[in-house]
A = this chain, B = another copy of it.
Amino acid sequence: MSDALDFVESNLPRFRAELYDFLRIPSISAKSEHEGDMRRAADWLADKLDAAGLEARVDDTPGHPIVLGRWHDAGPDAPTVLIYGHYDVQPPEPLEEWESPPFEPTERDGRVYARGSADDKGQLYMHVKALEALLAVDGSLPINVVVLAEGEEEVGSDHLVPYVAEHADELACDYVVISDSNMFAEGIPSILFSLRGLAYLEVHVTGARSDLHSGQFGGTVMNPANALAGIIAGLHDSEGRVAVDGFYDDVAEWDEETRQGIRSLPFDEDEYRRELNLPALVGEAGWSTLERLWLRPTCDVNGLLSGYTGEGAKTVLPNRAMAKVSFRLVPDQEPSRVARLVRAHVERVAPEGVRVEVRELHGGRPWRAKLDGRLVDAASSALEEAFGRRPVLQGEGGSIPIVVDFEEQLDASALLVGFALPGCNLHAPNEWFPLDAFDRGIGALVRLYGRLGK
């Protein structure tokens, strides 16, 4: 393994240069004018997998292609690891806020700035380079490997689940490893113990046949925007809890060890508040900020629209009002059950004089890691050796719905180990990735795969 680490060490300049080529391809999945770039990025990645020594191909889907790389010569007794990542990126807008061009990787202060550097090309490519190092030095890998890189993660991964179902044989594995998240802080590697799920709804309130004049009708009809405000306000109680009957029924309790672990993390609530420029932090009573983020479900309005929203005073009494409302879920909440509970709640509390409709847009299940196996042990040791510090366990407030699908469809355990940092500007202008984490992270992955093969 030390030869492979030496190989990494001496090839880092080339690894970075290759990553920058990858980052120069504007593989924006949301925009149809980049369809050619999507194909170019997929082909580029397949070429690199091939050059590293994997059997690589690009599979078409009804959307953007999926890149598959396989190496299966470790034999049936060696474990198989599926490495999942994505080569598509978020749109870079607003462009004027970038200090250097989004698709021209630029090094500043130990970081590389570029769209996709952290999410997820940079992290995905670290795995490719770790595999290359092992293959270059040993001529073989200690494990069987499947690399699966999709091009639709930023637009909903619509074609990934069917692809996994159709290719279950080729994708069969013991472990799934994903690097698409953060370390807890600079120098503090981490392993995720959970992801939150999501239930995303729209609430539509409809009143009269048309918009009305607020003078000629105001006071005689229920205003849909006022009604919607009442419905939304009623989704929380005065303690910051979600006030929907049955909402907490399936929320799993966490053990004291996990909560103790969270409390021991070096986290400064006041710095978090200041960095967000907020007068106060607010959330469910009885839980700390990190617990609210990782252990507790939420209800947030994502969008509100009604009536006249331009400049000045228009005296319209709108006949429609709409809210996008989403719930972040925790194990073992089910998105479809939560959606059903919320619909029932909204229909029950809707005031007289308007019609209310709840539409279910999107759902994703929460995930909880199995932390007591060989996978996490190997990752912990690998990260400790590479970063000089034992990784912490942390939750993730966001959602990666595919993780539960992988575990269920492939009967595998997932490891989520990320190398980005809080503040890396994912989905925002000036996305960056820490170069030190790129370098050390590749070493950590070499160690991880080495340990899993033992």
A322: chain B residues at CB < 8 Å are 309
A277 at the B interface (CB under 8 A): yes
State which size class the interface on A falls in.
Answer: 35 or more
B313 lies within 8 A of A213 (CB):
no
Instruction: Give A181-212 as 1s and 0s: 1 = Cβ < 8 Å from B's Cβ atoms.
Output: 00000000000000010101000000111101
- Residues from 280 to 303 in A contacting B, C-beta threshold 8 Å: 280-284, 289, 292-293, 296-303
A218 lies within 8 A of B298 (CB):
yes
Identity of the chain B residue whose Cβ is nearest the Cβ of A223 in the assembled complex: B300
A292: chain B residues at CB < 8 Å are 219-220
A155: min CB distance to chain B, Å: 10
**A299 to B214 CA separation, bound complex (whole angstroms):** 9
**A59 to B210 CA separation, bound complex (whole angstroms):** 38
Contacts from A to B (Cβ < 8 Å): 196, 198, 200, 207-210, 212-223, 225-226, 228-236, 272, 275-284, 289, 292-293, 296-309, 312-318, 321-324, 326, 328, 351-355, 361-362, 396-399, 426-428
**A426 to B351 CA separation, bound complex (whole angstroms):** 29
29 CB-based A-B contacts, threshold 8 Å: A198-B215, A210-B428, A214-B300, A215-B397, A215-B399, A216-B398, A218-B300, A218-B328, A220-B282, A223-B300, A225-B301, A225-B302, A225-B303, A225-B323, A226-B235, A226-B301, A229-B233, A280-B353, A282-B352, A282-B353, A301-B321, A303-B308, A303-B309, A304-B305, A305-B305, A305-B309, A309-B322, A309-B324, A312-B362
A212: chain B residues at CB < 8 Å are 276
Given contacts A326-B313, A397-B218, contact A318 B301 (CB under 8 A): yes
A324: chain B residues at CB < 8 Å are 307-309, 313-314
B355 lies within 8 A of A300 (CB):
no
Identity of the chain B residue whose Cβ is nearest the Cβ of A275 in the assembled complex: B209
**A51 to B110 CA separation, bound complex (whole angstroms):** 84
A301: chain B residues at CB < 8 Å are 223, 225-226, 229, 306-307, 318, 321
A239: min CB distance to chain B, Å: 13
Among A232, A303, A304, A427, max chain B CB count under 10 A is at A304
Query: Which of B226, B297, B361 meets A300, CB within 8 Å?
Result: B226
